[in-house]
Amino acid sequence: MAVSNNITACVTLLALICAGPVIASGVWFASAQGDECARLARWPVAILGGLLLLSALAGFVGAYWNRRGLLAFYLFAMAALIVLLIALLVFAFAVTRGSGAYPVLGRAYDDYRLDGFSMWLRGYVSDDPARWEKIKACLAVSDTCKKLQRQAAFVNAEQFYQSRLSPLQSGCCKPPSVCGYTYVSPTEWTSPARPAADPDCALWSNHPGELCYECESCKAGLLEALRDQWHKANIALVVATVCLVFLYLIGCSAYKNAQAAAFFRHYK
């Protein structure tokens, strides 16, 4: 019985450690997406990681001090939370499957359009006008486009075209390339050659508070930034999930062995 409890205690201690990457991913989501004015899945991942941490802590206490009630709670709670974590991963992979990026001839950066993303992500920026108004206001006062204007490296148009812009900078800080605007500075463009090529062409403004914040390309750039963040975080979440499932199975086995040992000792 003591050996099984020690094994379970070690397993739950490792589960405590594995909850760390889940919490870290949630905190990173909150900080990174806050900079980009989005609120998609801001805290749910961190909360789920916190619940995993508390469950593993209860299991460790139950195994170390032989509290079967806490061990039973640990096994039940961890099973439920692991299922939720797997469901979150499946959902994240499903809604971030498509990309709205498309290459532009003679440009080092991509342009972006909404129709390349999943219906759920498109709905996030299109279904609620009030939400986009808040995001747009945040972008207007953020450093996203101001940083481009301050960069002295862009002396001429060719240097700008060969720069590596972020999805938000490409979608929100300049007009779509298909419009054929003439480059003046990173956030100032004139004389569109093809004003009817895209509905966004008529929405561009040289005003620093407007730029292309009303453009569909800006919404697409925001979604691409969120998609990139999800893909980076998914690596840590997948590794943590696999480890937690493996540790949970070992914990179940150790708990059953402890129960069997107690049963045989009772009837011996």
Across 141-150, 187-196, 258-267, the highest mean pLDDT is recorded for 187-196
Res 188: pLDDT: 92
Q: Is 165 left (phi over 0), alpha (psi -120 to 50) or beta?
A: beta
- Read off the pTM: 0.83
**CA–CA separation, 29 vs 88, rounded Å?**
14
Res 2: pLDDT: 45
**CA–CA separation, 201 vs 178, rounded Å?**
8
Determine which of 28-42, 100-114, 231-245 has the lowest per-residue pLDDT on average. 28-42
Query: How many degrees, rounded to 5, is the angle at CA 178 between CA 174 and CA 183?
Result: 45
**CA–CA separation, 52 vs 83, rounded Å?**
11
Mean pLDDT of 50-76: 80
Element holding 188 (H helix, E strand): strand 188-190
Model confidence at 45, in pLDDT bands (50, 70, 90)? Answer: confident
At 172-228, the pLDDT tens digits run: 999 999 999 999 999 999 989 999 999 999 999 999 999 999 999 999 999 999 898
Phi, psi angle pair for 143, to nearest 5° = -95, 5
Mean pLDDT of 219-247: 87
**CA–CA separation, 225 vs 151, rounded Å?**
21
What is the separation of C-alpha 69 from the centre of its chain, rounded to a whole number of angstroms?
A: 36
Mean pLDDT of 249-258: 69
What share of the chain has pLDDT > 70, as a percent? Answer: 84
At 114-141, the pLDDT tens digits run: 999 999 999 988 888 998 998 999 898 8
Amino acid at 187: T
Output 127 or 261, whichever has higher pLDDT: 127
Res 3: pLDDT: 44
Model confidence at 259, in pLDDT bands (50, 70, 90)? Answer: low
Q: Are 251 and 73 spatial neighbours (Cβ–Cβ below 8 Å)?
A: no
Please report, for residues 75, 148, 161, 257, 262, the alpha-carbon distance to residue 248 in angstroms, rounded to integers and kept in the order given.
7, 49, 52, 14, 21
Res 1: pLDDT: 43
Torsion sign, CA atoms 176, 95, 232, 37:
positive
Model confidence at 74, in pLDDT bands (50, 70, 90)? Answer: confident
